[in-house]
Structure 1
């Protein structure tokens, strides 16, 4: 039977939160970035910038924001930013003024966010294909203003998330995903009543997974996690931050 390396790599994904004390080589970093650059991009805007963090003091500052040690202890740390600043700077002063209304819209904020996410997923897959492990870091938004200050980001550039990459120092079990029928609907959105039995079955499977895994065993379900998460609003400073950066205003 024919095998597909990329699909095998994707389906073998798991988040790595403990890395060996070994830095990535320049060649590895550049390969990962090049893979990111070949992700699809809306209208060829390439509305993202990737910042590699090599300064150990800066990594410590970012780890303090996140509360996660693997923001500091990894082979290389990337921060993915939505970037409309580069586009804003093009052209004459008159052209730049004419672009402002468009650049401040929710549509262009979505474009920058999606562009960065697509690039990051390419980077993650490339890293895993190189035998490395990865972990996405939304926790950098725990204090988005502080990250903005640390990285000296100009107007219309926002830190979206980090990506820790390195040599895995553990091999966690792969966490189950929702059933295909819950996330893939044909032709129109399926009523929640049809999804619910599948989610309930998934809850039982996840409960079994948590009970059997080798570390951090617990009694929990997906339903309980989601209801806990959205019952406690977090990062409420992100919305005013975006407006302060002149993004997602209209």
Structure 2
């Protein structure tokens, strides 16, 4: 196994950071390198908001349910946004009509932004930094948008906390690779397939404890009924749909004389 193989096999999420500052030039260089990730039509439909001061990180923290890694140590918070605004303004001043107020354009931006963020994550970790993806960005997109003063057509998608690791980390479990590869055509899973693929995950002591602590009978029940229940999914879906209507699908058109 090569050094690169080892890195990917052993990488882990870092949720606590030291007080060592991230050099500004290093951060800018990593962002620039990450911008060479693949992008739809070379449009680069993304931007990143850097929250580096304690005040800036504390301002964004409630939108992420005050998770401690947001304000931990001297880390920074990076909010990766789908940015259709910049592209549409470029079109506007060049007498071009951009038809980007639709789901397809949003997906362009989601793809671009995701690849950009993940390339940054990999580069940062290869330079000795630790990262944590926050799963709360799309839950509270309207609040994040307000805190960061995002205009129409700029949508927060991914948040990474970044800093120098304060402690050792635990590698998360993963499904066997045979469970995610489909040769030629999609092979649907039988009940026996599912039981085999998830057996190791379900047998981990921490997951057995997770089931017990939540008063459930199976790990699947914890995920589907406690962590990501239908009611919560539907509530946040409605919030997100309303927000997207307002800032993208039904946003005021950009005037050509701007």
SS at 1:29 equivalent: helix
Unaligned runs of 5+ in 1: none
Q: Contact 2:117–2:158 (CA<8 Å) still a contact in 1?
A: no
> Which residue of the partner structure matches residue 204 of structure 2?
209
1:242 aligns with 2:237: no
Q: Would you say 1:187 and 2:184 are equivalent positions?
A: yes
C-alpha distance 86-178 of structure 1, shift in aligned 2 (>3 A): same
Partners of 1:160 and 1:247 lie apart in 2 by 16
SS of 1:160 mapped into structure 2: strand
Contact in 2 for aligned 1:109/1:247 (Cα 8 Å): no
Residue 144 of structure 1: how far off its partner (Å): 1.5
Aligned to 2:254: none
- The equivalences for 1:35-74 within 5 A come to 35-67=33-65, 68-74=67-73
Which structure 2 segments of 5+ residues have no match? 213-217, 252-258
* Pairing 1:127-142 to 2, within 5 Å after superposition: 127-142=124-139
After TM superposition, the structure 1 stretch with the greater mean CA deviation from structure 2, 107-116 or 229-238, is 229-238
Call closer, same or farther: CA 1:15–1:197 in 2, change over 3 Å.
farther
Equivalent residue runs for 1:224-243 within 5 Å? 224-228=221-225, 229-234=228-233, 235-236=236-237, 237-243=239-245
Calculate the aligned-residue CA RMSD, in Å.
2.4
Name the TM-score, length of structure 2 as normaliser: 0.83
